[in-house]
Amino acid sequence: MVVRTEDDQALDRIFHALADGTRRDIVTRVVRQEQSVSELAHRYAMSFAAVQKHVAVLERAALVTKERRGKQQIVHGQLRTVRRAAQLLDQYEELWRQRADRIGNILAEDT
Partner 1 sequence: MTVISTEKDLDALTLTLVAEFEADVEAVWQVWEDPRKLERWWGPPTWPATFERHEFVARGQTRYYMTGPDGDKAHGWWAIVAIDAPRRLELDDGFADENGEPDQSPAMRMVVTLDRTAPGTRMTVVTTFVSVQQLEKNVEMGMEEGMRLALGQIDALLTDA
**What does the per-residue mask of binding to partner 1 show for 47-86, with x meaning CB under 8 A?**
--------------------------------------xx
Should residue 45 be labelled a site residue for partner 1 when binding is judged by CB under 8 A? no
φ, ψ of residue 61 in degrees (nearest 5): -85, 5
- How far apart CA 41 and CA 53 sit, in angstroms, is 11
Q: Where does residue 62 fall: left (phi above 0), alpha (psi -120 to 50 degrees), or beta otherwise? A: left
Q: Which residues bind partner 1 (CB under 8 A)?
A: 1-2, 4, 7-8, 11-12, 14-15, 18-19, 24, 85-86, 88-104, 106-108, 110-111
